[in-house]
């Protein structure tokens, strides 16, 4: 028997239901749900993973902080908590509350700390993680937690602050933050392991030139973030959509991944964020500080999803072959129509929207995400990996163990099937 056959035989052995495979080789992750199938496709996962580091990187004015607030909402809707450390000294609570839809319960579970130095925010995250571990021991309650920094390398080190105060300037010392991050991120990754934490941070992409004079870009903080993070989302401007109404403005951005330990990189979609002014139901004209209008900031995931799917059906995505495009067309039955000089309306018999009464892309996307059977089928056809959804009250360790065990059992079943097929072929 050759070595390959011997290995197949060994892996197929079962001893009273006990497998010879190491459970750790099948350990995966659980997370909080992503409310957009287009973003799920970019990440190759239905959830944003817990126990991992995630970066939001881009040039200025690419809505990195705004997207971070949106991700906060994903955690809060699962009964989670958020620790936000602001290092740039330009926090705007109005935009954050607008993204969170002024939800008092959710906002009460967000702790915001202004940090003046690098060492201060590192200590803040360490204290928060240790506090959670102690809370779990004494209360037994588990919930998803988002620790986030906005932004990663904006706060100076204590010694640079001391130099400025003493000398009126700082001494040249490139690489200090990068060296510190290399050690601290390594330590924090070990602290968050085994807990339902996600560590997210914004980072700036800066333009430069390489040794050949060609344009390139680099991130603050050196190579340490790239080494320890699981996912790096990239934000870049897309052609802007013009708005004529005074109470509405918007940004169109390209969202992609430059690193993705969950699936393929370089996948890209266009996302939309709207800034609107809505009447304030609690407006008090006798109060000098009561605003007549409230700011509303929304990532329109429904419109993003329908545009993404109609682009597949109509050949606007090169990643999908003609047979795949026909499959999606039959599966979704999406028909775009022009209404009020705007092509952002659609009807679909699958979504229960009649041709006589089409709905906006936004509403159609919401119907799609609420249709669990259709959503699951789309995830299958887009090869989106499905992972368990974690929320407050769930047992993180039990969920991880159960998913790990099921992954192992599926792997063993597949291995046994392959072994049997290969044995039959050898006999023939």
Q: Span 247-272, mean pLDDT?
A: 89
Q: Using 50, 70 and 90 to split pLDDT, how confident is the model at 171?
A: very low
The predicted structure's pLDDT at residue 168: 43
Task: State the average pLDDT over residues 362-378.
Answer: 96
| 336 pLDDT more than 80 | yes
Average pLDDT, the chain: 82
**What is the C-alpha to C-alpha distance for residues 282 and 411, in angstroms, rounded to an integer?**
57
pLDDT, residue 172, reads 43
**% of residues, the chain, pLDDT over 70:** 76
DSSP string, 209-227: E-TTS-EEEEETTTTHHHH
Name the least confident of 10-14, 262-266, 325-329.
Answer: 10-14
Confidence of residue 424 (pLDDT cuts 50, 70, 90): low
Q: What is the tens place of the pLDDT at every residue in 210-256?
A: 666 665 666 666 677 777 788 999 999 887 655 555 567 888 899 99
Phi-psi region for residue 356, left (φ > 0), alpha (ψ -120 to 50) or beta? alpha
Tokens of 234: 């990239």
pLDDT for the residue numbered 349: 95
Q: Tell me: the pLDDT tens digits for 48-106?
A: 999 888 999 988 888 999 999 999 999 999 999 999 988 887 778 899 999 999 999 99
Distance, in Å, from the CA atom of 113 to the CA atom of 111, rounded to the nearest integer, reads 7
Give me the pLDDT at residue 176, please: 63
* pTM recorded for the entire structure: 0.85
Contact between 375 and 368 under an 8 Å Cβ cutoff? The reply is yes
Six token digits for residue 400? 């991880």
- List CB contacts of 62: < 8 A, sequence separation 6 or more: 235, 236, 237, 253
Residue 126's pLDDT is what? 76
What is the pLDDT at residue 18?
A: 42
At residue 180 the predicted structure's pLDDT band, cuts being 50, 70 and 90, is confident
Residue 251 CB coordination number (10 Å):
18
Query: Looking at residues 137-142, what average pLDDT do you find?
Result: 81
């Amino acid at each position: 028997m050759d070595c390959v056959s011997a290995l197949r035989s060994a892996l197929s052995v079962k001893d009273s239901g006990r497998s010879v495979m190491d459970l750790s080789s099948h350990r995966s992750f659980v997370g909080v749900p992503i409310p957009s199938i287009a973003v799920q496709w970019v990440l190759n996962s239905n959830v944003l993973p817990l126990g991992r580091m995630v970066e939001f990187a881009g040039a200025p004015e690419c809505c990195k902080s705004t997207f971070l607030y949106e991700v906060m909402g994903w955690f809060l809707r699962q009964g989670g908590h958020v620790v936000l450390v602001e290092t740039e000294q330009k926090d705007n609570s109005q935009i954050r509350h607008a993204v969170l839809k002024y939800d008092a319960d959710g906002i009460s579970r967000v702790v915001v700390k202004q940090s003046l130095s690098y060492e201060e925010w590192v200590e803040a995250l360490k204290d928060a993680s240790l506090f959670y571990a102690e809370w779990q021991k004494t209360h037994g309650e588990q919930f998803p937690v988002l620790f986030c920094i906005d932004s990663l390398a904006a706060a100076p080190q204590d010694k640079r602050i001391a130099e400025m105060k003493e000398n009126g300037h700082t001494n040249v010392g490139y690489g200090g933050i990068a060296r510190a991050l290399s050690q601290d991120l390594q330590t924090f990754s070990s602290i968050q392991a085994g807990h339902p934490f996600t560590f997210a941070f914004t980072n700036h992409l800066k333009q430069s030139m390489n040794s050949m004079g060609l344009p390139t870009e680099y991130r603050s903080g050196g190579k340490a973030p790239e080494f320890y993070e699981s996912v790096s989302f990239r934000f870049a401007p897309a052609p802007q959509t013009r708005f004529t109404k005074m109470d509405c403005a918007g940004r169109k951005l390209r969202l992609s991944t430059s690193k993705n330990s969950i699936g393929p990189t370089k996948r890209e979609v266009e996302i939309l964020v709207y800034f609107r002014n809505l009447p304030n139901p609690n407006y008090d004209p006798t109060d000098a500080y009561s605003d007549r209008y409230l700011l509303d900031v929304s990532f329109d995931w429904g419109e993003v999803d329908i545009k993404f799917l109609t682009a597949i059906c109509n050949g606007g995505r090169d990643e999908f072959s003609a047979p795949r495009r026909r499959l999606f067309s039959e599966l979704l039955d999406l028909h775009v129509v022009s209404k009020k000089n705007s092509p952002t309306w659609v009807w679909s018999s699958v979504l229960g929207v009649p041709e006589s009464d089409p709905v906006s892309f936004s509403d159609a996307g919401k119907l799609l995400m609420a249709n669990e059977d259709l959503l699951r089928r789309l995830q299958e056809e887009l090869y989106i990996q499905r992972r368990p959804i974690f929320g407050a009250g769930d047992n993180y360790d039990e969920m991880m163990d159960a998913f790990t065990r099921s992954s192992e059992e599926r792997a063993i079943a597949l291995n046994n099937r392959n072994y049997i097929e290969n044995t039959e072929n050898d006999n023939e």
